[in-house]
């Protein structure tokens, strides 16, 4: 299991398009992936779940990955967060 | 084989929702088409057009037909469609963006299973923002 706190850096936060990218990436891995903001923990492979977090810019989200490909999954998810979900700001 | 989706709605409701879903997701993981119903349409002709579209987009796993409001002309067209035994369709009324997004999030599911996802997606997407934190 790998658990990491990641910061939502982009201006629009974890909005629909960013959420779709997280889910598309997470769905490539066999591992279970969850995201948590405060008390709300959701399945990282569910787009509506990720959107329900309503994680705005500067929000810290706890990501937990459990499974055989957890190392690669966490690396790639972290990269996506750090790259502003491929958005310009 | 995957399920295909057809929206049959007032005006461009379905068309705009699908376009929005495509913008959100980057691409649509299922074959999707839309049929717009206007006030001046001929429902019988539109029914034939709906049948034609269903046969065209059916990938072998049936067509999920989504309409906006039950009892309206678009919905009545859908409900006649489901009596055509040459095509495998399932009709759901109450189309909203969460329903569409939820259904598209499960492109691997068969028709019988994607129905539940679409309906729960539609319901789960209704949130009283005054109380949601």
Residues in chain B: 133
Q: What percent of chain B has pLDDT above 90?
A: 80
**Residues B101, B18: Cα–Cα separation, whole Å:** 9
Q: Greater confidence, A47 or A62? A: A62
Six-digit token pair at B67? Answer: 């309409």
Scanning B35-64 for CB atoms below 8 A from A yields none
Average pLDDT over residues A5-21: 93
In B, minimum Cα distance to A15 occurs at: B24
What pairing do the DSSP bridges indicate for beta strands A60-66 and A32-37? antiparallel
CATH number, domain with residue B31: 3.40.50.510
CATH number where A12 lies:
3.30.1340.10
Let me know if residue B68 belongs to a domain. Answer: yes
In a domain, B40, yes or no: yes
Among residues A57, A69, A51, A72, which one has the least CA distance to residue A10? Answer: A57
Domain around A70: 2-86
The tens digit of pLDDT for each residue in B73-114 reads: 999 999 888 887 788 999 999 999 999 999 999 999 999 999
User: Rounded to an integer, what distance in angstroms lies between the CA atom of residue A50 and that of residue A20?
Assistant: 8
- Cβ contacts of residue B99 below 8 Å, gap of 6+? B66, B92, B118, B119, B121, B122, B125
Residues 6+ away with beta carbon under 8 Å from B116: none
Catalytic, out of A12, A15, A62, A87: A15
Number of structural domains chain A divides into: 1
Contact assignment for A17 to B24 by CB distance below 8 Å: yes
**Mean pLDDT score of chain A:** 94
Inform me whether the pLDDT recorded for B133 exceeds 70: no
Alpha-carbon distance A30 to A48, whole Å? 20
Q: What is the pLDDT of residue A61?
A: 97
B23 in the Ramachandran plot: left (φ > 0), alpha (ψ -120 to 50) or beta?
A: alpha
ipTM computed for the complex: 0.78
User: Closest residue of A to B125, CA-based?
Assistant: A48
Domain with B48, as residue range(s), is 4-124
The answer to whether the beta carbons of residues B94 and B124 sit under 8 Å apart is no
């Amino acid at each position: 299991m790998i658990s990491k706190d990641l910061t939502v850096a982009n201006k629009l936060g974890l909005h629909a398009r960013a959420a779709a990218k997280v889910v598309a990436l997470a769905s490539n891995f066999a591992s279970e992936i969850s995201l948590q903001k405060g008390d709300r923990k959701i399945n990282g492979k569910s787009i509506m779940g990720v959107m329900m977090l309503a994680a705005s810019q500067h929000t810290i989200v706890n990501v937990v990955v459990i499974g055989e490909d957890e190392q690669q999954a966490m690396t790639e998810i972290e990269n996506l967060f750090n790259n502003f979900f491929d958005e310009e700001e | 084989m995957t399920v295909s989706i057809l929206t049959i709605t007032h005006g461009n409701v379905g068309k705009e929702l699908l376009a929005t879903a495509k913008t959100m997701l980057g691409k649509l993981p299922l074959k999707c088409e839309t049929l717009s119903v206007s006030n001046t349409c001929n429902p019988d002709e539109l029914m034939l057009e709906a049948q034609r579209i269903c046969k065209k987009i059916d990938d072998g796993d049936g067509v999920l037909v989504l309409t906006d409001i039950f009892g309206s002309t678009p919905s009545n067209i859908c409900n006649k469609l489901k009596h055509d035994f040459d095509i495998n369709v399932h009709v759901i009324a109450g189309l909203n963006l969460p329903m569409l997004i939820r259904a598209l999030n499960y492109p691997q599911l068969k028709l019988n299973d994607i129905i539940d996802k679409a309906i729960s997606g539609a319901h789960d997407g209704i949130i009283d923002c005054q109380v949601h934190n």
